[in-house]
Structure 1
Amino acid sequence: MFPEYDVIVVGAGHAGCEAAAAAATMGSSVLLITMNMHTIAQMSCNPAMGGVAKGQIVREIDALGGQSGIISDRTMIQFRMLNLSKGPAMWSPRCQSDRVLFAQEWRNTLEENPRVDFWQDTAKEIVLEDGKACGVVTSLGITIRSKSVVLTNGTFLNGLIHIGEKQFGGGRTGEKSATGLTEQLVGLGFESGRMKTGTPPRVDGRSLDYSKMEEQPGDEIPSKFSYTDTQPLAKQRSCWITYTNEEVHKVLRTGFEKSPMFSGRIKGIGPRYCPSVEDKINRFADKDRHQIFVEPEGWDTVEVYVNGFSTSLPEDVQYAAMRKIPGFENAKMFRPGYAIEYDYFPPTQLKSTLETHLVSNLFFAGQINGTTGYEEAACQGLMAGINAHQNVHQKEPFTLKRSEAYIGVLIDDLINKGTEEPYRMFTSRAEYRTLLRQDNADIRLTAKGHALGLASQERLEKVQEKEKQMAELSEKLSQHKYQPAEINPALERLDTSLIREKTSLYQLLKRPQITIAKILEAHPPIQELLEGYTADAILQAEIHLKYDSYIEKEMLLVEKMNKLEDLSIVENFNYDAVTSLSYEGREKLKRTRPTTIGQASRISGVSPSDISVLMLFIGR
């Protein structure tokens, strides 16, 4: 009935979709197994993509040739660039998405790829031969063979939903959980744990009074995620902001004794940076209000997502408390919020390719690795899909360094440090934020994606043209010099010090008070210099001239770290033979199996003296 596939992907969430699309685009035959064909790429929580650090990840996925950025652009209803008041390393794109259109666009994209097949079923077991994954057995008892397997199970592994004192099995509201895989993997020697996440109630937007809320419109000139020719939004929908109050908190507290979180019924650890509303009012009892973001779920629906009101309290308590929020006095609820517990596997059991140490050709991606968020899942799926393909076709594994991408930071953190709570990406996790900006992801990664067979030739040529323009414009700005009488009137209008000698535009633009846009307004003749250059090239040139000293410092740090990354450790290195290693360091090294000294240096529990011993032992 089934041929043997190169890659089987189990689960069709954000990780599974990127994995299937990547492997198939690169030339592998792919079977995507999902419990429900109608929930492919379902946005289980908030209908949005991007945000602080997450927006950088979406751009990196796009630059490599993944699909999340393109699909976000095609289905967004609002776009905002966050943190514009800060430096460009902090700028982060975010969009509000149409939940239904997003899932439909993903399904269309996968169906248009002739190398992707689908099967609606549940994978109950991995087929193993000689320590290698070579297929799956489904709940229907069907064995489907493959050369590799990628598990992207999300919250479905032994998922348990909590609403007050009620609890029932499920991987998402209205969908059953997946059983069998955890038990098999634990039997093989994998370590597993439990995590928890949650979601807020959904309400009828027609029942809300928006006059009592603050409007949060999109950017006046909206940008986008993808470096391809997707079109920016011509119209947008607003989001809204309101706040909880003491009355809301008082009602919520009446349900604490029935809270599964406070009663101990929930054993899993929840996300620290996205707590439930009951956790917020308990942990921050001194705060008399908390922000609520009121987010529409699409163009053609009245359903609204109540961001900031995630809860697992009894539904009657949720409803009563919500109606005390300004603008929600007459709110009608579509469904209550809930918490969900699920199995995950500590990611220290993975190689840097996301292949497991214990079983060859078996890859984990997404929430199964202890992460939270669509973007974190999608980039893992992309990397797992790439490496499953590379593995099957006996090609070199593909990894990204911490200095090359937020994706590299995320995977490096997971496999070396592990996580005991749902891992969420922040800009603060990256040492090289000035290098890993959202605006230069294409320059950093498109050539790599093209070499893999993911990014098209057209994409590569577009990046090369951008780099060429950027270099030309930087040179022009350096050579174009002004006499004081010529430019001082403009500088005076910009409230910056006047010049006394001939000065290049390049030097003037280094001043914090001056940007290309501002000096163009104050001195319109500069427009002639910019003719023929794209907005992207102009932005890149400006960022580089303003931050060149910071960029240079980070490049020196990268060069220093790369010397350690270049020191390889053989795959079956015998750490027990190195008696000078500390006991903890030896155990952590044996468990993680780093491939380089650089990776070893980032493992929690491996001390600098352990690294010195290792370097001496390998002759360096």
Structure 2
Amino acid sequence: MKEYDVIVVGAGHAGAEAALAAARLGGDTLALTVDLDNIALMACNPAIGGPAKSQIVREIDALGGEMAKNIDRSFIQLRMLNTGKGPAVRSLRAQADKKSYSLNMKRVLEEEENLNIRQGIVTELLVGDGVVKGVKLKTGIEFYGKKIILTTGTFLKGSIIIGDHSFNSGPHHQFPANALSEHLEELGFELRRFKTGTSPRVDKRTIDFSQLIKQPGSEGDISFSFTELSSTQLKEQVPCWLVRTNEKTHQIIRDNIDLSPLYAGDIEGEGPRYCPSIEDKVMKYPEKERHQIFVEPEGEYIFEMYLSGFSTCLPESIQVKMLHSLPGFEEAKIIRPGYAIEYDCVNPLQLKPTLETKVIKGLYTAGQINGTSGYEEAGAQGLIAGINAMRQLQGEEAVILKRSEAYIGVLIDDLVTKGTNEPYRMLTSRAEYRLVLRQDNADLRLTPLGYQLGLITEKRYQKFKAKKEAIEQEKQRLKNYKIYPEDEVQSYLRKVDSTEISRDDTLGRLLRRPELNYEKLAGLDKERADLAPEVIKQVEIQLKYEGYIKKQLKQIEKKKELEEQQIPEEIDYEQIEGLSAEALEKLKKVEPISVGQASRIAGVTPADISLLVVYLQKLKREVTKENQHE
């Protein structure tokens, strides 16, 4: 039987990125999926992006991944969020035609050189001497691979629950992966039981949209991918809608809360704190009189509407009553009821920062199997797992993004350092360096790495270099462009509602004023060149927030020493005198690769870190002495 370089189990958002990365890096790759018709399925809301998530999607793109390009091909609405706030929290969100998204991704996988796709359910891993050798399917056939990446999503012992009805199933009633879950436990993995949910889908022909608030898309040339800006003006965007729950909705939920599996004790899995069900919102926040529900089209030519924020597992008859209590939904018909899904996932503390497992060599995991939620978080992990599987095969250094480099770095570091007791969702508040980790500069941060890895083409890289050079040149020009307190200048500043200058100044300094932007300075700029919008945007952000950015870069520099101080794999923490019992236990379990990572482990104090640093210095001196004797 042929041996593949990499076998990817699952072809959801994590699996698609993992398989493409491995294949594009030259690996002979096999992707196995439960259902070939549901590649990159949007089992929950049909959307990509939003706060913190759009940063991840653009980082995936900057590294050479596919998610951004695929949503640009498949969107039916693009909307820029938080435009009234600072650039660190602005985010792009796209409504997708979910069938188009899935079909487009399937086509990309099918056309990728070095990548084979096959339908099949994996029941066990082939392992010898602690090293993974391949996989076995439910039909008994075996496939051999040097590296295996598990991206099983919510399929591990998946169970769908609606009221008092429950049945074994993956998302959207696909086959679950029961045997594989049991097998992983036998191999020594610590499994957790998590829960997520989805909202009812409603026939849009039965909704009275005149009672809803229209949510149009944004205009202009915007896109997720940095490759080519896709103009939203080239196609008619489909609107989303907003409705709010009311006291009648809340009373129906309160009257029937005993019928909720969540409150009846029928669901043992831990649910997502930041994406709770509607019954959770009503019961936990009784002071809130209304909750927002976004009514989102699932496609351009289909009649299903997704009710984002209305996730529930109450009985279907109660879902109908709740629905009819909403303005405009008095006659609405449910096409698919909402449901909860429970599933097994691994403890991410059993992973290395490369996403290789500590339990089995050569085995990687990515996506919801690692305890995360969201398509974007899954895609990011899949990309990094695919890259690192191939890097290890090729004898190259692993890719471990720092917290100061990318949201992806924050995501993976949080998982492997702190673990998670609930479905992990990326938030802007989790990134301590979010001012420098913006969605608009993801290409500036990560494209050089993507090019170095071999996932960014020469043509794209040269285009990126030209953009970067144009930004720097324009910044310097504005910093050196002097203006003087002449009548013409003062008159113009008054005209644009800005304060007059009292002495010589520069356009670069003026740009820092809150009321001024690049376009408003045009009347004072006699040497302005015709620049691309993305160049102008970067110039404006980098100059306007220059002081804050420099301050954050200094903070990053201060932490750099700890991050670069590596901890050897063979370290014996028992030899470090004075470590607290909790620190000893946590350090042995997490196995941090650097002092910086060790400092972020819950229960490890600054005093413990000081002892660790002293011990590492002692080890270094001993090694130096041995080398001198030799």
Q: Same fold (TM over 0.5)?
A: yes
Q: For structure 1, which segment, 174-183 or 37-46, has the greater mean C-alpha deviation from structure 2 after superposition? A: 174-183
Distance of 2:594 and 2:172 partners within structure 1: 43
Distance of 1:230 and 1:494 partners within structure 2: 30
Per-residue CA deviations over 1:411-442 (Å, capped at 9, x if unaligned) read 00000000001110111101111110111101
SS at match of 1:352: coil
SS at match of 2:125: strand
Deviation at 1:252, TM superposition (A): 2.2
Kept after mapping to 1: 8 A contact 2:253/2:279:
yes
> Where do 5+ consecutive residues of structure 1 fail to align?
none
1:605-620 aligned at under 5 Å gives the runs 605-619=603-617
Q: For structure 1, which segment, 98-107 or 84-93, has the greater mean C-alpha deviation from structure 2 after superposition? A: 84-93
Kept after mapping to 2: 8 A contact 1:74/1:230:
no
Distance of 2:470 and 2:582 partners within structure 1: 52
Question: 2:138 matched to which residue of 1?
Answer: 139
Deviation at 1:232, TM superposition (A): 2.3
Question: 1:543 matched to which residue of 2?
Answer: 541
Distance of 1:503 and 1:569 partners within structure 2: 50
Amino acid at match of 2:59: E
1:29-108 aligned at under 5 Å gives the runs 29-108=28-107
The alpha-carbon distance between structure 1 residues 540 and 550, as it changes in their structure 2 partners (threshold 3 A), is: same
Distance of 1:255 and 1:122 partners within structure 2: 38
Please tell me whether residue 442 in structure 1 is matched to residue 457 in structure 2. Answer: no
Distance of 1:212 and 1:35 partners within structure 2: 41
Question: 1:583 matched to which residue of 2?
Answer: 581
SS at match of 1:439: coil
Please tell me whether residue 487 in structure 1 is matched to residue 489 in structure 2. Answer: yes
Deviation at 1:546, TM superposition (A): 1.0
Question: 1:125 matched to which residue of 2?
Answer: 124
| Structure 1 vs Structure 2 CA RMSD | 1.2
Question: 1:422 matched to which residue of 2?
Answer: 423
Question: 1:277 matched to which residue of 2?
Answer: 278
Question: 2:9 matched to which residue of 1?
Answer: 10
Distance of 1:457 and 1:597 partners within structure 2: 37
Distance of 1:197 and 1:370 partners within structure 2: 11
The alpha-carbon distance between structure 1 residues 534 and 222, as it changes in their structure 2 partners (threshold 3 A), is: closer
The alpha-carbon distance between structure 1 residues 529 and 337, as it changes in their structure 2 partners (threshold 3 A), is: farther
1:216-615 aligned at under 5 Å gives the runs 216-233=215-232, 234=234, 235-484=236-485, 485-520=487-522, 523=523, 526=525, 529-615=527-613
Kept after mapping to 1: 8 A contact 2:222/2:229:
no
Distance of 1:579 and 1:239 partners within structure 2: 61
Amino acid at match of 2:48: M
SS at match of 2:295: strand
Amino acid at match of 1:204: D
Per-residue CA deviations over 1:429-477 (Å, capped at 9, x if unaligned) read 0111111011110110011011111111122112211111011101111
Q: For structure 1, which segment, 215-224 or 363-372, has the greater mean C-alpha deviation from structure 2 after superposition? A: 215-224
Deviation at 1:126, TM superposition (A): 0.7
Distance of 2:543 and 2:393 partners within structure 1: 44
Distance of 2:395 and 2:131 partners within structure 1: 15
Distance of 2:552 and 2:507 partners within structure 1: 25
Deviation at 1:177, TM superposition (A): 1.0
SS at match of 2:223: coil
Q: For structure 1, which segment, 385-394 or 346-355, has the greater mean C-alpha deviation from structure 2 after superposition? A: 385-394
Amino acid at match of 1:569: I
Give the TM-score taking structure 2 as reference length: 0.96
> Where do 5+ consecutive residues of structure 2 fail to align?
619-630
Q: For structure 1, which segment, 387-396 or 142-151, has the greater mean C-alpha deviation from structure 2 after superposition? A: 387-396
Deviation at 1:222, TM superposition (A): 4.8
Amino acid at match of 2:389: A
Distance of 2:345 and 2:575 partners within structure 1: 33
Distance of 1:140 and 1:252 partners within structure 2: 45
Amino acid at match of 2:62: A
SS at match of 2:456: coil
Deviation at 1:230, TM superposition (A): 4.9
Deviation at 1:494, TM superposition (A): 2.2
Distance of 2:220 and 2:270 partners within structure 1: 40
Deviation at 1:518, TM superposition (A): 2.9
Kept after mapping to 2: 8 A contact 1:252/1:318:
no
Kept after mapping to 2: 8 A contact 1:70/1:230:
no
Distance of 2:83 and 2:554 partners within structure 1: 27
Distance of 1:502 and 1:557 partners within structure 2: 33
Amino acid at match of 2:199: P
Please tell me whether residue 28 in structure 1 is matched to residue 30 in structure 2. Answer: no
Distance of 2:400 and 2:311 partners within structure 1: 35
Distance of 1:335 and 1:302 partners within structure 2: 12
Deviation at 1:293, TM superposition (A): 0.4
Kept after mapping to 2: 8 A contact 1:159/1:343:
yes
Number of positions where the alignment pairs a residue of Structure 1 with one of Structure 2? 615
Distance of 1:167 and 1:560 partners within structure 2: 53
Runs of 4+ that moved beyond 4 A? none
Amino acid at match of 2:433: Y
SS at match of 2:601: coil
Report the identity percentage.
Answer: 48
Question: 2:627 matched to which residue of 1?
Answer: none
SS at match of 1:619: helix
Question: 2:172 matched to which residue of 1?
Answer: 173
Kept after mapping to 1: 8 A contact 2:221/2:230:
no
Amino acid at match of 1:550: Y
Kept after mapping to 2: 8 A contact 1:12/1:32:
yes
SS at match of 1:433: coil
Distance of 2:309 and 2:422 partners within structure 1: 19
SS at match of 1:31: strand
Distance of 2:221 and 2:199 partners within structure 1: 28
Kept after mapping to 2: 8 A contact 1:476/1:529:
no
SS at match of 1:117: strand
Per-residue CA deviations over 1:524-574 (Å, capped at 9, x if unaligned) read x63x54423221111111111111111111111111111011111111111
Distance of 1:592 and 1:459 partners within structure 2: 39
Amino acid at match of 1:341: E
Distance of 2:488 and 2:503 partners within structure 1: 11
Distance of 1:148 and 1:38 partners within structure 2: 25
Amino acid at match of 1:305: Y
SS at match of 2:441: helix
Per-residue CA deviations over 1:39-95 (Å, capped at 9, x if unaligned) read 000000000000000000000000000000000111101111111111111111111
Kept after mapping to 2: 8 A contact 1:79/1:222:
no
Please tell me whether residue 161 in structure 1 is matched to residue 147 in structure 2. Answer: no
Amino acid at match of 2:611: V
Question: 2:622 matched to which residue of 1?
Answer: none
SS at match of 1:438: coil
SS at match of 2:343: strand
Deviation at 1:220, TM superposition (A): 2.3
Deviation at 1:258, TM superposition (A): 1.4
Kept after mapping to 2: 8 A contact 1:155/1:172:
yes
Deviation at 1:104, TM superposition (A): 0.5
Kept after mapping to 1: 8 A contact 2:507/2:521:
no
Deviation at 1:255, TM superposition (A): 2.5
The alpha-carbon distance between structure 1 residues 237 and 530, as it changes in their structure 2 partners (threshold 3 A), is: farther
Per-residue CA deviations over 1:349-402 (Å, capped at 9, x if unaligned) read 100000011111100100011100000000000000101111222221111000
Q: For structure 1, which segment, 572-581 or 447-456, has the greater mean C-alpha deviation from structure 2 after superposition? A: 572-581
